[in-house]
Structure 1
Amino acid sequence: MSAERGWTSLSSEVKFASQWFEVRRDAARRPDGSHGDYDHVLAPPAVTVLAVDERQRIAVTRQWIYTHRGPQWRLPAGRVDDVDTEPGDAARRELAEEVGVSATDWSMLGTINCADSLTNHRDHAFFATGLRDCGERRLEPGEADLELHWLPVQQVVDMVLAGELPHAGSSFAVLVAKVRGLL
């Protein structure tokens, strides 16, 4: 049993678990003393990488996203695996796997909560420059249709503003970098 800010977790039951996420039902006591059940998803954290080359182009991927039933533009991204000691390790791995490049300069843009009424899922966004080829891309089976595009910075900013880059981590990374004057 744990309590935070007047909320008390009374019990927690796993309703479904897979290698990707877990669905739980928690019984909780609210700050006003009433009780309720909360169904939520526990998911590992993820990373998104805003990689900008020397020609001021951004690495952007396009692939079919099963849950959205259509193709989607997004920045290179993926989950933080158990082998990653911290999110930056996952960011470096994802950039190499999806884009085939490494970066000499990295900075953290921030972390965004994704659908926080439904899940604890967080996306850590990174800015990468000083790009250099590190060999062939290493796509996972679910990424066989992943296309890599190098788009001008302003085009990617315009895509975010037009709602054409709906992935939360991607839009967050682009907007934060733009506001900070990195783009």
Structure 2
Amino acid sequence: MTELLEDEVASAVVSESDVVFAGHVWDIRKDTFRYGDSDIVRDYVDHTGAVAIFALDEHDRVLLIKQYRHPVGMREWELPAGLLDEANEHPVEAAKRELAEETDYVAAEWNVLSEFYTSPGGSNEALRIYLARGLTAAPEVFARTEEEADMEIRWVPFADCLDAVLARRVQNPSLVIAVLAAFAAKERNWSSLGAADLPWPRHPNNWAHTGR
């Protein structure tokens, strides 16, 4: 019988851990740890974690936003998303808040679609993608500033999203992963979805959300 393909939790003894740069949004941390016979030093982005929302309506359209991203000099098509930077806020509640704040929509049905580490060699950011359905207009319209001030909001047919991903016309990782995961999940009649309050034990920081 083939062994189940699954990531393995591994722990290393950390002898030193210091914030070497305190940033406006997240920090850079330097860890010294023992792995095997070696003492290793690594710098990485110490991240709050984030959530993204694959909002799908009854016409099989996906709700996307276009937003300026300075590090790559692009206005990217993305999913509505946001940081887990509110104390003791459950990820699904953060997702609901971000969907309303960024798109002026709310959803009646929520499920976990996918999870991933954005760049595990250099960041501890964990990101959970929710599938949101039953979309209606939010009771409140939110003001948007900074990079969100000129944000474009568009309903895009699911098939067009898939075409854009496969043709490499869109590059945002949350969008790419969500589109491919949703296509596969839909082919399986959505049987792979998780409950909205599914524990998140692999999130490195928000232990309140792990169910432990």
TM-score of the alignment, normalized to the shorter chain, above 0.5? yes
Query: What is the match of residue 124 of structure 1?
Result: 128
Partner of 2:201: none
In 2: Cα distance, 1:141 partner to 1:171 partner:
25
Q: Could you tell me which residue of structure 2 aligns to residue 17 of structure 1?
A: 22
Q: 2:119 matched to 1:115?
A: yes
2:148 counterpart residue number: 143
What does residue range 1-183 of structure 1 map to in structure 2 within 5 Å?
Answer: 5=10, 7-31=12-36, 33-83=37-87, 85-134=89-138, 135-181=140-186
TM-score, scaled to structure 2: 0.78
Structure-1 separation of matches of 2:10 and 2:107: 42
Identify unmatched segments of 5+ residues in structure 1: none
Report the RMSD for the aligned CA atoms in angstroms: 1.8
Percent of aligned pairs with the same amino acid: 30
Q: Distance in 1 between matches of 2:28 and 2:51?
A: 21
Which amino acid in structure 1 is aligned with residue 18 of structure 2? E
Contact kept? 2:50, 2:82, Cα under 8 Å: yes
Gaps of 5+ in 2: 1-8, 191-212
2-structure distance, mates of 1:110, 1:142: 26
Partner of 2:209: none
TM-score (norm 1): 0.90
Query: Secondary structure of 2:144's match?
Result: coil
Alpha-carbon spacing, 1:145–1:84, altered in 2? closer, same or farther (3 Å): farther
Q: 1:84 to 1:7 in 2, by over 3 A?
A: closer
Please list the CA deviations of residues 55-107 of structure 1 after superposition, one character each: whole Å capped at 9, or x if unmatched.
Answer: 22111111211111111111111111214621101110111111111000111
* 3-state SS in 2 of match to 1:118: coil
**Residues 20-43 of structure 1: CA deviation (Å, up to 9, x unaligned):** 111111112221x12221111111
Shift of 1:7: 2.8
CA positional deviation for 1:6: 6.7
Q: Is contact 1:73–1:164 with CA below 8 Å preserved after alignment?
A: no
Return the alpha-carbon distance in structure 2 between the equivalents of residues 16 and 103 of structure 1: 38
